[in-house]
């Protein structure tokens, strides 16, 4: 895996009573697939610390769910991060698969979800937490879509009403941040009322071409629309991380792994 780079986005919150008293930063980790940068992720942790983030957002696929699940580095990273920062986490398709596997297993201690909860991770499985960051009232939501929404060659429809069925309605007068691994449904997230959606899943489209962007999604659709970057629709924002790792197809062309830093003003 090549070394990661740092990608920075400025997020203007622009709402009466919903803006921070002072600017602050947060980091977004996604799609690490149990990789490690340095011994026990020392290089990644150092990069995070130098940003002095108020929060760590995680948008899933931090482990790889295979017959022999790979999750030791992911567990160690969550253990360390929760000692230093509030960590808000939504599952990706790999965690959902792993959850299914451990639900069927006799040994409940095997559960990845329980382990990271035990460290203090706010694991948002179609739920939310309300908090304040620099006096800005923030609600952080986690949308965990069923695995049907990740099928290959087939796109399940999803509208704002279904998002509301999973989550309820967003909070008025608060800044609503939605963690959603699958960025494909940005339209529904924006219509539902997410001021800012954070996503991953596409690994930047694996191979990136100048002007055209990412070439292929994990569902094998070509030139996926939201593969990495900052997008705006109906005045609401989406940030898609290109991710920090990979699995199965370990190709990344013109598409380095990235640590995303969000500068809120």
> Shortest distance, CB of residue 261 to Fe ion, whole angstroms?
21
**Position 258 contacts Fe ion (CB under 5 A):** no
Q: Which residue is nearest to Fe ion (CB)?
A: 201
For residue 43, give the H/E element and its range: helix 42-49
At residue 171's C-alpha, the angle toward residues 167 and 176, to 5°, is 80
**Position 30 contacts Fe ion (CB under 5 A):** no
Stretch of residues binding Fe ion (CB under 5 A), selected from 56-64, 97-105, 134-142, 247-255 = 56-64
Query: How far, in Å, CA of 59 to CA of 29, rounded?
Result: 6
Out of 33, 201, 228, 252, the only residue in the binding site for Fe ion (CB under 5 A) is 201
Rg, the chain, Cα only: 17
Q: Which residue, 41 or 93, has its beta carbon nearer to Fe ion?
A: 93
Helices (H), 68-199: 72-84, 93-104, 112-119, 160-167, 186-192
* Helix%, strand%, coil% for the chain, nearest 5: 25, 30, 45
Q: Which residue, 183 or 213, has its beta carbon nearer to Fe ion?
A: 183
Count the site residues for Fe ion by CB under 5 A.
4
Out of 92, 193, 245, 246, the only residue in the binding site for Fe ion (CB under 5 A) is 92
Stretch of residues binding Fe ion (CB under 5 A), selected from 17-25, 85-93, 168-176, 224-232 = 85-93
Q: Which residue, 86 or 224, has its beta carbon nearer to Fe ion?
A: 224
- Please name the residue that has the structure tokens 């069923």: 146
CB-CB contact of 205 with 218 (8 Å): no
Q: Which residue, 78 or 145, has its beta carbon nearer to Fe ion?
A: 145
Q: State the residues that interact with Fe ion by CB under 5 A.
A: 61, 92-93, 201
């Amino acid at each position: 895996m090549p070394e990661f780079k740092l990608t920075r986005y400025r997020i203007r919150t622009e709402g009466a009573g919903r803006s921070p008293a002072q600017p602050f930063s947060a980091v977004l980790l996604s799609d690490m697939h149990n990789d490690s940068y340095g011994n026990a992720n020392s290089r990644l942790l150092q990069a995070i610390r130098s940003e002095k983030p108020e929060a760590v957002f995680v948008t899933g696929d931090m482990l790889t769910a295979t017959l022999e699940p790979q999750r030791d580095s992911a567990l160690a990273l969550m253990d360390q991060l929760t000692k230093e920062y509030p960590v808000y986490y939504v599952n990706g398709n790999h965690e959902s698969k792993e959850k299914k596997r451990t639900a069927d297993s006799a040994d409940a201690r095997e559960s990845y979800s329980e382990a990271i909860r035990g460290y203090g991770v706010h694991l948002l499985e179609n739920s939310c937490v309300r908090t304040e960051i620099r006096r800005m009232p923030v609600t952080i939501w986690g949308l965990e879509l069923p695995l049907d929404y990740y099928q290959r060659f087939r796109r399940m429809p999803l509208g704002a009403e279904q998002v509301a069925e999973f989550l309820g309605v967003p909070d008025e007068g608060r800044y609503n941040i939605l963690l959603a691994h699958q960025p494909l449904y940005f339209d529904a997230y924006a219509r539902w009322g997410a001021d800012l959606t954070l996503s991953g899943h596409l690994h930047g489209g694996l191979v990136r071409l100048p002007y055209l962007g990412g070439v292929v999604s994990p569902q094998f659709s070509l030139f996926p629309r939201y593969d990495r970057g900052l997008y705006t629709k109906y005045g609401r924002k989406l940030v898609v991380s290109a991710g920090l790792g990979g699995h199965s197809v370990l190709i990344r062309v013109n598409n380095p792994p990235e640590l995303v830093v969000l500068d809120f003003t």
